[in-house]
């Protein structure tokens, strides 16, 4: 049995970096500072025409020369700015009236202080890494003339099967992949300054675009 | 660091940061929460380290309590710190006084810094009158 689809709205934001914040008790808490992106609704899809209902958001306004012609044409047709990044999220068909093309999304329903959010982004690339850092393998013995420093060890049996099984973990590139940090608490949202504070770390380098959704585990609207 | 973060952390910082220097003997008054009640507690010792910048700047205070060395790290900007009183400032030639950890008794004493150098920094600033304003000459 498949679970019913959980429809969660998305807000796009730019990660600025981390700092400390003193709460009312005087405790220092680590926070990530994010700046909300433009979040302009670019398209509303419906059941009749597209087969499903969703809202497409745009962010990251760029110069005209930095967008290709198909993207520019699509945005120009709807009289929208040169948005460099588009992201879609599913909605219930009856909710489509809440959104309007060309208008910014209201983030206040997602960014409620003291509530939890999930934040996804592209993690920092770590380059080609060995088994110890990548998969938390133990290193070899340090004494008795051992020369096994950070080696992967055995990668399989002998004549049977005579090959390395598919999916065997081996040293490879680490990071630079989509990661979701779950259950991060919203500390503060300043609507005027367009700044969001979230407790804890958020994936990605500073300046990267991240997606913010209500937490799948701890949010019950 | 992004200028918006710098601005944000400046709002969070104290207006008057206590002037603590390495080698000072200080008395730190800390607010402690016990259930619903709040009280303040004093902690006295030598500053052996100052670390960090901006809102995350900390200082470490070392003292010997019942024969056991105790080091406590305080955030300079923390609202939990009510007051930092400099009792004595010591003459030191190092930024981090880790060598005090290996010493006991009399050798942990630091020579006191000459007061004359301090008194100049505490001199009240001369008031500069605004242009076009008449000021009485003392």
Q: Which residue of A has its CA nearest to B4?
A: A16
Task: Give the model's pLDDT for residue B132.
Answer: 63
Measure in Å the smallest separation between the Cα of A1 and chain B Cα atoms.
47
Q: What is the overall mean pLDDT for chain A?
A: 91
Share above pLDDT 90 across residues of chain A, in percent, rounded to a whole number = 74
A96 CB neighbour count, 10 Å cutoff: 16
The C-alpha atoms of residue A149 and residue A127 are separated, in whole angstroms, by 20
Give the list of residues 6+ apart from residue A102 with CB closer than 8 angstroms, or none.
A40, A41, A42, A78, A79, A80
Measure in Å the smallest separation between the Cα of B80 and chain A Cα atoms.
6
A109-161 tens-digit pLDDT: 889 999 999 999 999 999 999 999 999 999 999 999 998 889 999 999 999 99
Mean pLDDT is lowest, of A6-15, A96-105, B129-138, for B129-138
Position B125 pLDDT exceeds 90? no
DSSP of A94-153: GGGGG--TTSB--GGGT--TT-EEEEEEEPPP-EEE-HHHHH-PPP--SSTT---SS---
Burial category of A30 from C-beta neighbours within 10 Å (exposed 0-12, middle 13-18, buried 19 and up): middle
Would you call B5 an interface residue with chain A, using a CB distance cutoff of 8 Å? yes
Contact criterion met (CB < 8 Å) for B4 and A33: yes
Task: Give the model's pLDDT for residue B119.
Answer: 44
Give the list of residues 6+ apart from residue A106 with CB closer than 8 angstroms, or none.
none
Which residues 11-70 in chain B show a CB within 8 A of chain A?
12, 31, 33, 55-56
Task: Give the model's pLDDT for residue A5.
Answer: 63
- β-bridge pairing A172-174 and A127-129: antiparallel
- Tokens representing residue A197 in the block: 């504070």
A22 vs B1, B2, B78: nearest CB: B78
Q: Which residue of B has its CA nearest to A207?
A: B2
A19 vs B31, B55, B78: nearest CB: B55
List the one residue out of A9, A14, A204, A35 whose CA is nearest residue A88: A9
């Amino acid at each position: 049995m498949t679970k019913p689809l959980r429809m969660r709205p998305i807000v796009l934001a730019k990660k600025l970096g981390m700092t400390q914040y003193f709460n009312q008790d005087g405790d220092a808490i680590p926070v990530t500072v994010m700046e909300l992106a433009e979040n302009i609704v670019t398209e509303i899809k419906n059941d009749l025409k597209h087969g499903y209902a969703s809202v497409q958001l745009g962010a990251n306004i760029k110069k005209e020369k930095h967008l290709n012609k198909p993207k520019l044409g699509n945005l120009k047709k709807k009289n929208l700015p040169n948005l460099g990044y588009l992201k879609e999220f599913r909605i219930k068909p009856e909710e489509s009236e809440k959104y309007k093309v060309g208008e910014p999304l209201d983030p206040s329903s997602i960014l409620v202080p003291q509530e939890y959010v999930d934040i996804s982004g592209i993690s920092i690339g770590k380059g080609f890494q060995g088994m110890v850092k990548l998969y938390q393998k133990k290193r070899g013995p340090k004494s008795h003339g051992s020369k096994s420093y950070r080696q992967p060890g055995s990668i399989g049996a002998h004549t049977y099967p005579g090959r390395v099984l598919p999916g065997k973990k081996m040293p490879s590139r680490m990071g630079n992949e989509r990661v979701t940090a779950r259950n991060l608490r919203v500390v503060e949202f300043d609507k005027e300054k367009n700044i969001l504070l979230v407790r804890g770390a958020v994936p990605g380098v500073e300046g990267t675009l991240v997606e913010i959704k209500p937490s799948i585990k701890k949010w019950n609207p | 660091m992004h200028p918006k973060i710098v601005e944000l952390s400046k709002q969070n910082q104290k207006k008057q940061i206590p002037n603590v220097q390495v080698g000072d003997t200080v008395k730190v008054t800390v607010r402690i929460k016990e259930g619903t009640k709040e009280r303040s507690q004093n902690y006295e010792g030598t500053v052996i380290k100052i670390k960090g910048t901006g809102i995350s700047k900390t200082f470490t205070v070392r003292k010997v309590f019942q024969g056991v060395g105790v080091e406590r790290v305080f955030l300079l900007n923390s609202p939990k710190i009510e007051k930092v009183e400099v009792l004595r400032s010591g003459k030191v030639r190092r930024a981090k006084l880790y060598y005090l950890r290996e010493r006991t008794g009399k050798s942990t004493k630091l020579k006191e810094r000459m007061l004359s150098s301090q008194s100049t920094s505490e001199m009240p600033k001369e008031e500069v009158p605004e242009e076009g304003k008449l000021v009485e000459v003392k």
